[in-house]
Chains A and B, each alone.
Chain A
Amino acid sequence: MRIALLGFGSVGRGIARVILAKDLDITVTGIADSKSGIIDAAGIDLAAALARKENGGPCGNAGVTPADVVAKADYDVLVEVTPTNVDDGEPALGHIRAALRRRKHVVTSNKGPIALAYPELRALAEENGVFLKYEATVCGAIPLIHAMQEGLAGNTISRLYGVFNGTCNYILTRMAAEGLTYEQALAEARELGYAEADPTYDVEGIDAAIKLVILANTILDMRTGLDSVERTGISLLTPDALQLAEDQDCTIRLIGEIVPEAGVLRVSPRIIAKTHPLVVEGTLNAVTVETDLAGDLTFIGKGAGSTETASAVIGDLLYIQSRHVQGS
């Protein structure tokens, strides 16, 4: 199977490393990052591209753009792993459309296009007889979308809730464990690389809300948008509040919640018993799905990280490979 890779940041490089390390029958024929690109139908030397990038250089040639790779490279699957833009999903959205129109399968970790334009992209994929897979957009390594679409097919999901943002979970874990203020815990999360310089996207619950929208639109058939999510972040929480929860053997977590029947989409800090399976430590994610046939299921795992996200992307790739791509 031949793939083209858009985005050569930590996720893109994580994927390249897995392809190098494992015999997956995957050849990379195009790579582009924001500054350069490379196209080679015979297969790109991934080790060399990784080395260039790790030495601070470009991944390819300055004249080659992501649009060139999408339009000209010879591939079966476009792997789109560029950073998320939640305003209009671009430029990723345009690249995904172009690839689908070329009858290429698409695997993406990019939340923007899926949250903003899933119905359109799905229709486009169906029209062209190709797959659009996006497991890595929600909860990194946890195969939540696959589990709900395949493993739990036939179940009616009455409620879905959990910890969708590792940065917030880390901050709350540290506030509870050490009595840190929100600001102190955030500073620590930044130092460890868990939080961005501008942490708004995480701490105000936007990231979790986008993931809810993706699940609501793609699995629960809710046709909703980011504006429909009732959202409260964690930036106003105090160490005292966590202590008051602690006094009752509880703690506080930022919980994303969907109740399809009632149309509820909500991200908010919630009091939760410390023995609850969703009370996970550090940057972990955890999601409980309430179903009619299978009962309650809780998934716990790493929500971010280059290898963990690569795991979800590779899973999608091999799903497509095993079903619809012949040869390599």
Chain B
Amino acid sequence: MKLEMKDQPGQLVAALKPISAVGGNIIAVIHQREATTPAEALDVQIVLELPEGRLENLLELLREQGVSVVRIGEERLLYECTLIMIGHLMHTDISDTVDRIDRTGSAEVTELSLVMPAINSPSSARITIRSTTRPEMKKAIRLLREVAQQKELLIVEPLEDA
């Protein structure tokens, strides 16, 4: 998100404090000193991770500190889930399998490791999916289960995501 604050001592700390208060994690702070805004204001860009549903809370706390939020960038994919697939992955078109997840628009495959022992033996793959929210992740896993059923693949899900 891009913040605008008064160019006064302590303002940056005032802007960052609420982030930890809502359980967020600051990944990067880009602090531009060159005045591209009216003289007394300062631009700061912050990349952060937030638990789901805390954004509103954070915006309110920032307003209380006198920090105005100029722009909120795109939400990044924060939920990650790693599964293992076993079966005839190549013969059943693994790029189509990946594609079907990606086409949801809310989840995507970010990593794939494939082991193929022999032409006719089943192969095994570890697949990592990222999504914006937990419900979107559940949807993606449901979709993967359907694909697996069609293609006769075994899906090994993590214990955590019941």
Contact = CB atoms under 8 A, between A and B. Distances in A.
Interface of A: 159, 161, 232, 236-238, 240-241, 243-245, 247-248, 250, 252-253, 255, 257, 259, 264, 268-272, 276, 278
B162 A276 contact: no
25 contacts: A159-B162, A161-B159, A232-B154, A236-B87, A237-B156, A238-B115, A238-B117, A238-B121, A238-B124, A240-B117, A240-B124, A241-B84, A241-B124, A243-B115, A244-B124, A245-B84, A250-B158, A252-B156, A253-B159, A255-B159, A269-B154, A270-B156, A271-B156, A271-B157, A271-B159
A244 B159 contact: no
A271 B157 CA distance: 6
B151 to A, nearest CB: 13
Given A252-B156, A271-B159, A238 B86 contact: yes
Contacts of B18: none
Interface string B110-131: 0001010100011111100000
Contacts of B117: 238, 240
Contacts of A272: 158-159
Interface of B: 82-84, 86-87, 113, 115, 117, 121-126, 154, 156-159, 162
A257 B162 CA distance: 9
A271 B158 contact: yes
A259 B162 contact: yes
A174 to B, nearest CB: 17
B32 to A, nearest CB: 39
Given A255-B159, A264-B162, A276-B159, A271 B83 contact: yes
Nearest to A255: B159
Nearest to A272: B159
Given A238-B124, A241-B86, A272-B158, 6 more contacts: A161-B162, A240-B124, A244-B84, A250-B158, A252-B156, A271-B159
Contacts of B125: 244
A273 B56 CA distance: 34
A271 B115 CA distance: 17
A64 to B, nearest CB: 49
Contact of A238 (B83, B122, B157, B158): B122
A244 B117 CA distance: 13
B162 A241 contact: no
Nearest to B113: A244
Contacts of B154: 232, 236-237, 269
B48 to A, nearest CB: 26
Taking each of B87, B115, B126, B158, which has the highest tally of chain A beta carbons within 10 Å of its own beta carbon?
Answer: B126
Given A255-B159, A264-B162, A271 B122 contact: no
Contacts of B82: 248, 271
A236 B122 contact: yes
Contact of B159 (A232, A241, A248, A270): A270
Contacts of A270: 156-159
Taking each of B117, B121, B124, B159, which has the highest tally of chain A beta carbons within 10 Å of its own beta carbon?
Answer: B159
A269 B159 CA distance: 9
A252 B126 contact: no
Contacts of B113: 244, 247
Taking each of A248, A269, A270, which has the highest tally of chain B beta carbons within 10 Å of its own beta carbon?
Answer: A270
A298 to B, nearest CB: 13
Contacts of B124: 238, 240-241, 244
A276 B160 CA distance: 11
B158 A237 contact: no
